[in-house]
Amino acid sequence: MPSTQSSSTSSNFPSPSVNRSKSRILKISLFATGLAGIVAEYVLSTLATYFLGDSVFQWTMIVSLMLFSMGLGSRLSSFFQKDLLQKFILVEFTLSILCGFSALLAYLASGYTLYTGLIIYGLCMSIGLLIGLEIPLVIRVNDTFESLRINVASVMEKDYFGSLLGGIFFAFVGLPYLGLTYTPFVLAFVNFTVAIVLLLMLWQYLSAFNRKLLGSIGGAVGAVLLSGLIFAKPIILFGEQQRYRDKVVFEQQSRYQKIVLTQWKNDYWLYINGNQQLSTVDEVLYHEPLVHPAMTLAPNPKQVLVLGGGDGCAVREILKYPSVEDITLVDLDPAMTDLGKENSVLLNLNDSALYHPKVSIYNQDAYTFLEQTSQYFDVVIIDLPDPKSVDLNRLYTEEFYRLAYRHLRERGVFITQAGSPYFATRAFRCIDKTVAAAGFQTARLHNQIVTMGEWGWILGVKSSTTVNVKSQLQQLTFNHVSTQWLNQEAMQMMTTFGKNIYGLPLDSVEVNQIHNPVLYQYYLKGNWDWY
């Protein structure tokens, strides 16, 4: 039965020889574009997380905005009355450019403007709008070949199946191996190939003018994509460099995070997702307080667990204790531990500590490791990034600390980095309260780190009897171990906080739990609530 849709599309196929093979090509095309569409969402969500932070919020907003924009695109498709397949080809050419250059535009924008988010969200809505045009256009074109019942089901099926493959590709190939430099261009060439295949299928039915027009557009898009692919790496490096004050000497987008190493004169800075982790200028001011109070307070430490710390500096300090027999280091990202073992800067900094026969490295989620291991430890040292997202927040919860408590021997010592007690006071107090809620007897530590500002740690002791942990720390001497800065006088200073300048009592914060993830919200707000 003739319809507006079928008559409008049939002009593209006047020949009666059109058959199921053309329908099959259309659906294969939609399978490919479904793959590209879902990966585009993931690329933009990863970019937003890297540049703007708070992964849960960014992924939620990017996916939601893209779905909303797809709805707008679907609505917009209803205004197209004829030459639908040609319009679909133009959509694919446009998507090729937007997807391919999404990361390059975000990196360039970050170097010259504070409004990188507007660029990313603008790309999100533009790409979503175009993706929303695809499915309705293909359904209407395919109406020529199949009944409505079969048409809609088969078209949607191919799009969703493509999305599954896209997710697998992004998780296991795109992000870990191609990174944000080349993954967008894979999407671009998927859309470009779809457009070219359909253009060739349609070629004999086009007028001379449309052949020339679409052929010229295709040639221009192909040339632009090839140029972008060739110059992608230097452009990304240029944009990355604009984000850092010093020269970028190493950068890698792993499956989990962006790792950057910068250099100024003879010193180096390590960044993860744009946040400084250490500097060769003063890393001992961080790692000595992280390691030595816990190691010295523990009686005869033999088995030590380090969660995080893939740079190897904490392990370097632990190896100074002759009593230590085994050091278990658990870091989620193999790219980070590989850097600690292979990069000349970190190798020199950590004294090749990760190669020591006492050290065992596990690239595993810290929470999962504690759930599954049957080992017991004398000291647990947590050297993880700040809890600025829900996924990191999980590693600062009461449940996580209870797992650590369970795997400590009696009189075992636990310590975690806890951010800044002065710039994120509520977050610091929350960690203190949460560690205590897990059963530890706690003490707070802090130190001024030149390149990072005031930093803090929470130390806990597992003991069946009441102990004054702060008093014990103040009495520690470090004559038995080689330190560059730490001594008894430093411990007196590190355990003293003075008056509470913000007037923030401990009961003003909640215990951080998996079902009540308050810590990352405290951290993101910092002390702005009280200024």
Catalytic (active site) residue 383: yes
**132: enclosing H helix or E strand:** helix 116-142
Cα–Cα distance for residue pair 510/523, rounded to 1 Å: 13
How does DSSP assign 237-300, residue by residue? HHHHHHT-SSEEEEEEE-SS-EEEEEEETTEEEEEETTEEEEETTTTHHHHHHHHHHHHHHSSS
Residue 458's DSSP bridge partners are 416, 444
Closest CA to 284 of 105, 427, 484: 484
CB 502 within 8 A of CB 511: no
CB 231 within 8 A of CB 108: no
Cross-sheet strand order for the sheet of 377-383:
359-362, 326-330, 303-308, 377-383, 408-417, 453-461, 441-449
Cα–Cα distance for residue pair 99/47, rounded to 1 Å: 12
Residue 493 CB neighbours (<10 A): 12
**HSE, side-chain direction, 13 A CA sphere, residue 95:** 35
Per-residue DSSP letter, 365? -
Residue 480 CB neighbours (<10 A): 9
Token duo for residue 336: 């980070």
Catalytic option among 143, 159, 383, 432: 383
Cα–Cα distance for residue pair 528/531, rounded to 1 Å: 5
Cα–Cα distance for residue pair 49/46, rounded to 1 Å: 5
List residues with catalytic annotation: 383
